Amino acid sequence: MGEYLLGLDAGNTVIKAVIFDRHGNEIAAASEEGHSRMPSPGHVERGLDELWTNARQVIRACIEKAEIQPEEIAAIGCAGHGNGLYALDRDGAPLIGIQSLDTRAAGLVDEWREAGVGDRTYPIARQRPWPSQTPTLLAWLKRHRPDLFNRIGTVFFSKDFVVNRLTGQRVSEVSDMSGAGLLDLAARRYDKALMEAYGLDDCMDLLPPLIESADIAGTVTEEVAGQTGLAAGTPVVGGLFDVVASALGSGVARTGSASIIAGTWSINQVIIDSPDLGGPVFMSSTFDRSRYMAMENSATSAANLEWLVREFFEGEHAEGVSPFDACCALAGAIEPTTDDPIYHPYLYGAQQDGHARAGFYGLAGWHTKGHLVRALLEGVAFGHRQHIETIRKAGAVFNEAVLSGGGSRSLIWPQIFADVLGVPVSVARSCETGALGAAIAAGTGVGIFADFGAGAAAMVRAERYYRPDVSLEAHYARRYALYQDIAEAMAPLWRRLTAVPLAAAGAAA
For residue range 150-209, list pLDDT tens digits in order.
Answer: 999 999 999 999 999 999 999 999 999 999 999 999 999 999 999 999 999 999 999 999
* Residue-range domain boundaries for the chain: 4-250, 303-426+469-508
Domain made up of 303-426+469-508: CATH architecture = 2-Layer Sandwich (3.30)
Residue 272 pLDDT level (bands cut at 50, 70, 90): very high
Q: Provide the pLDDT for residue 279.
A: 76
Q: Are 127 and 241 in contact (CB under 8 A)?
A: no
Q: Provide the pLDDT for residue 265.
A: 84
Per residue in 308-335, pLDDT tens? Answer: 999 998 776 667 788 899 999 999 999 9
- Coil, helix or strand at residue 351: coil
Sheet holding 45-46, edge to edge: 36-37, 45-46, 94-98, 85-89, 152-156
Three state DSSP letters for 247-305: HHHCCCCCCCCEEEEECCCEEEEEEECCCCCCCCCEEEECCCCCCEEEEEEECCCCHHH
In this prediction, residues 111-135 reach a mean pLDDT of 96
Q: Provide the pLDDT for residue 500.
A: 58
Domain 303-426+469-508 in the same topology as domain 4-250: yes
Per residue in 36-88, pLDDT tens? Answer: 999 998 999 999 999 999 999 999 999 999 999 999 999 999 999 999 999 99
- Please give the Cα distance from 185 to 95 (Å, whole number): 28
The mean predicted confidence, pLDDT, of the chain is: 94
In this prediction, residues 83-95 reach a mean pLDDT of 97
Half-sphere exposure of 3 (CA within 13 A, CB side): 8
Burial of residue 452 (CB within 10 Å: 0-12, 13-18, 19+) is buried
Per residue in 388-435, pLDDT tens? Answer: 999 999 999 899 999 998 899 999 999 999 999 999 999 999 999 999
**Residue 28: pLDDT above 90?**
yes
Q: Provide the pLDDT for residue 504.
A: 45
Fold of 4-250: Nucleotidyltransferase; domain 5 (3.30.420)
In this prediction, residues 474-479 reach a mean pLDDT of 98
**Residue 508: pLDDT above 60?**
no
Beta bridge partners of 283: 294
**Residue 215: pLDDT above 90?**
yes
Whether pTM exceeds 0.75: yes
Q: Provide the pLDDT for residue 507.
A: 45
